[in-house]
Each structure stands twice: as structure tokens, then as C-alpha cells.
Amino acid sequence: MGIKAFAPASIGNLGIGFDILGMAIERPGDEVVARKSDTPGVRIVKITGHGGKLPYETEQNTAGMAALRLLEFLGETGRGIELEIHKKMPLGSGLGSSAASAAAAVLAVSELLRTGLSKRELLPFAHAGEQVATGSLQADNVAPSLLGGIVLIRDNATLDVHRLHAPRGLYATVVHPHFEVLTRDARAILKPEVPLADYVRQSANVAGFVVGCYTGDVALIGRSLRDIIIEPQRAGLIPGFYEVQSAAMAEGVLGCSISGSGPSVFALSANSLIAENAGLVMQKAFARHGIESDVFVSPVNQEGAVIC
């Protein structure tokens, strides 16, 4: 009798697009089951998988808050809703875990209540849910997780988001090393200022990346995927990062950088063969530092969150 939704992991920032670009991948992802209940309010009744640390209190849980925000919008806060959250990816991985739970929750509840709202219309509630529960203001994970695709967030406050045209054949490799980086720590180390010359170069690269997406110029995407601002400041949080990156580049990937605030490292490739090979060498490079990791290879996930 419940409705189950799946929302995928996402690569925040995409290296050059700090806080403004994100891309959905096919897996991993989180599942949320929503069910009607006679007890008013949103209650989280089950959390499985990587969710050991997650709170059952609705107001502190990203999925719970997202569902609550949607009910408020619908004027249905008297409704009884039970949520099960099945975490298929770890927290603090740089894969947008809390965003995926929020995205899956709004979609499941919307379907359960037959709201008829589009995923674009549901985005504010998923975003607000994630924001309240985690303090994150950026929609560069929740927007691609819910909507799918490669997404530009022009403005977080107004959720002025745009799915870019994604070239055929573009593949992502994501390697998740088994340790945690807290987003707030990764943010705290960033210098508050950027050299003007670096700003110019990086804004040119962001623009080049967007042009490459629309024109299908994967070589241009490759030349543009060079983060000279954030990556150098965060690389030190990830032991062996530069070796992992070099290994990927040697396989012919278009670019390789940090997913979200890390520690996951991503690469984009022009085809699945390069993406697969890159995953193997990236995993080996982490292993040389005594770090185990998981590898995910995926085309651009154009669907985003789905009912399953």
C-alpha cells in the first residue's frame, strides 16, 4: 500500500561549478517509501542501510522535513504519513546523500497524495527539507537528484535551475573512498577571496563547459574541466587525490576532480570504456594509500527521482 521512490546520487560542483553545477548518476541512490497513516503528522518509522546516524525526529531528518514542507504547501499538515528511508549510500561521501533522501521523499509523498505536481514544482520542498535538516543552502545536489541531468543552479534563493543539454556518450566515474569528509569542514578551509585572474579563468571554464554541453563538443568540455579555485584548497582532505586524478587523466578522461565536498572523486569521459578503465585505476591509486573504495560508472542520469 506504500509508494516507493528512488532518487539517485549526484556529483555536486562538477569541479568547476562550485555551488552552481550538479549532475545525476544512475546509482547509488536512496529509496523512500511513503504510506498513509491514521496518526496525523509525518513520522519516520524505519531507516535502513547507511542511515545508522540519521535522526528519526522528523524536523531533523532531511526526508522528514521535505515531506513536511510539501504537506504545509498542500495545507495537509493534518495528514498522517509514515516514511521508510532506505539509505543506499553513506553520509559525508560527496554523493549528495541527504539530497537524494529529500528528493525521494517529496516524490513518494506527492505520488501517494496524487498531487499532480511536477518534479520541478516539488523542488522547493526537497530543497527546503534538505536545507533545514542539514543547513545546506546549495541546490547543486538536490536539483539533479530530483530532476535528473546536468543542472545549472543560477540562483539558489529563487531556485532558478536549468537542465543543460548533455552530450551523448558522456559517462561519469565516481570513486567513493571509505572515509568521511564533513561538508562544513570542507567549507571552512576555503579562503574567503579568489584571485581576480583565477576568477576570470574559472568563469571562462564554466562558460566553456556549458557551451560544450550544448554543442556536443566533448573536447571543449575536457579543456574546461579544470578547477583552479576549489580543488587545490580541498585536495589535501583526500589522501592520494592527485595520484587518483593523474591515473584517471592517463586513461583519457575529459577531466577529474572532487565530487561535492568530497571525499568522492569523479571523472567525466567521452565513452563508457574510458569511464570503466578510469574507475579501475582510480580505485588502485586509492588502494596504494591503503584506502578501500567503491566505483560507480554511469551515463548522465536523465530521469532523476522515479517511482519504483
Q: What does the binding site for a copy of itself look like in residue numbers (CB under 8 A)?
A: 17-21, 152-155, 160, 162, 164-165, 190-196, 199-211, 214-215, 220, 223-224, 229
CA dihedral over 131, 123, 203, 225, signed as positive or negative: positive
Nearer to a copy of itself, 19 or 26 (CB): 19
Residue 49, burial from CB neighbour count under 10 angstroms (0-12, 13-18, 19+): middle
Nearer to a copy of itself, 141 or 202 (CB): 202
Nearer to a copy of itself, 224 or 283 (CB): 224
What's the start-to-end Cα distance of the chain, in Å? 13
**Min dist. Cβ of residue 186 to a copy of itself (A):** 13
Nine cell digits for residue 177: 573512498
**Min dist. Cβ of residue 193 to a copy of itself (A):** 4
**Min dist. Cβ of residue 168 to a copy of itself (A):** 16
**Min dist. Cβ of residue 12 to a copy of itself (A):** 13
Nearer to a copy of itself, 120 or 154 (CB): 154
User: Which one, of 259, 239, 308, lies nearest residue 25 by Cα?
Assistant: 259
The answer to whether the bond into 55 is cis (omega within 30° of 0) is no
The answer to whether the bond into 263 is cis (omega within 30° of 0) is yes
**How far is CA 113 from its chain centroid?**
26
Nearer to a copy of itself, 221 or 235 (CB): 221
**Min dist. Cβ of residue 154 to a copy of itself (A):** 4
CA distance 165 to 78: 41
